[in-house]
Amino acid sequence: MKSHDKMHVSGEESVSAVLKYGDNSRRNGMALVIVLAFSTILLILGVVYLRTFSQSTHISGLQLDQIQAEFFARGMQNIATFKIKRYPDFFLRSYRYHVYQNRVNTGDSSVPPPLVPFTNPSPFQKFTGTYPGRTNDLLHHMHPTEDSTLGFTTPLKIATWSTTFNLRSAEDFNRAFIEIDVYVRMEGRDLVSQYRMSLDASQTRKIPGS
């Protein structure tokens, strides 16, 4: 008996046919159910695959930002080193005066008072380039208009950057380690990356007539 003929039977034959072939009505829709289940699995796999792919793209964007920030910071350190080499006396003396000023301001009685009252901004603040009233400097964040005129950071998208100087002295500042820190934050990121350069510097004095 073919399967489509089994509906023609009736009575006892019908019962025996059901017992023999099973209840076909239970099988109705099974193909759909299987296909839908299969499609759902495919859909889930596809979504997971796309999510993984989009995350890897995001990671490569972060890597690029890090590379750009690092090279930019290295460049700023070069410019900062150039400034120190160009004006070594200004850097060294303003830093020493800055240390002296801090000692006076903290009430250190072992240091004599200054010849004239301390100025604001201090010489060291002037060396670093930024102080209250002047927030725009090459070694710090530049105004976007000036930046685009000079084409300084183009084509990078840098939100902020700044440079700090430190001098770790030895032998009464005759020998020192200059630390130049550059802080960079790329546009659209919260993270501020810090890049440090250390220079070993020594000072020699030429005695006139020698």
Partner 1 sequence: MRQNSRLRAGISLIEIMLAFMILVTATFSAAGVISFGHRGTVADFRQVEAMQILVDRMNKLTNMHYASLDSFLTAAGGNEYTFNNDIEGIVLGDEVKIDKNTYRVHATLKRQPITFDSLMELDFPNPSYMPASPSTWLFKDRVSAAFNGVDNPYKVIKITVSVKPVGGMTDEREFAAVSYVADLES
Q: Is 206 in the site for partner 1 (CB under 8 A)?
A: no
Residue 187: CB minimum distance to partner 1, A? 14
Residue 195: CB minimum distance to partner 1, A? 12
Q: Is 76 in the site for partner 1 (CB under 8 A)?
A: yes
Among 1, 15, 36, 159, binds partner 1 (CB under 8 A): 36
Tell me whether residue 15 or residue 42 sits nearer to partner 1 (CB atom).
Answer: 42
Of 174-203, binders to partner 1 (CB under 8 A) are none
- Count of other CB atoms within 10 angstroms of residue 194: 11
Tell me whether residue 129 or residue 178 sits nearer to partner 1 (CB atom).
Answer: 129
Tell me whether residue 88 or residue 194 sits nearer to partner 1 (CB atom).
Answer: 88
Q: Is 45 in the site for partner 1 (CB under 8 A)?
A: yes
Tell me whether residue 22 or residue 114 sits nearer to partner 1 (CB atom).
Answer: 114
- Residue 46 CA to residue 42 CA, distance in Å, equals 6
| Residue pointed to by tokens 């020594």 | 202
| Closest among 167, 194, 174, 191 to 183, alpha carbons compared | 194
Among 63, 135, 198, 202, binds partner 1 (CB under 8 A): 63
Query: CA quadruple 51, 56, 57, 59: dihedral positive or negative?
Result: positive
Residue 55: CB minimum distance to partner 1, A? 11
Among 16, 22, 78, 175, binds partner 1 (CB under 8 A): 78
Of 96-115, binders to partner 1 (CB under 8 A) are 96-97, 99-100, 111-115
- Residue 161 CA to residue 158 CA, distance in Å, equals 7
- Residue 68 CA to residue 205 CA, distance in Å, equals 40
Helices (H), the chain: 11-21, 30-86, 88-105, 123-128, 144-150
Omega within 30 of 0 (cis) for the link into 155? yes
Contact 180, 168 (CB under 8 A): no
Among 1, 62, 143, 152, binds partner 1 (CB under 8 A): 152
Q: Is 88 in the site for partner 1 (CB under 8 A)?
A: no
- Residue 85 CA to residue 195 CA, distance in Å, equals 20
Q: Is 82 in the site for partner 1 (CB under 8 A)?
A: yes
| Residue pointed to by tokens 């070993």 | 200
Residue 100: CB minimum distance to partner 1, A? 4
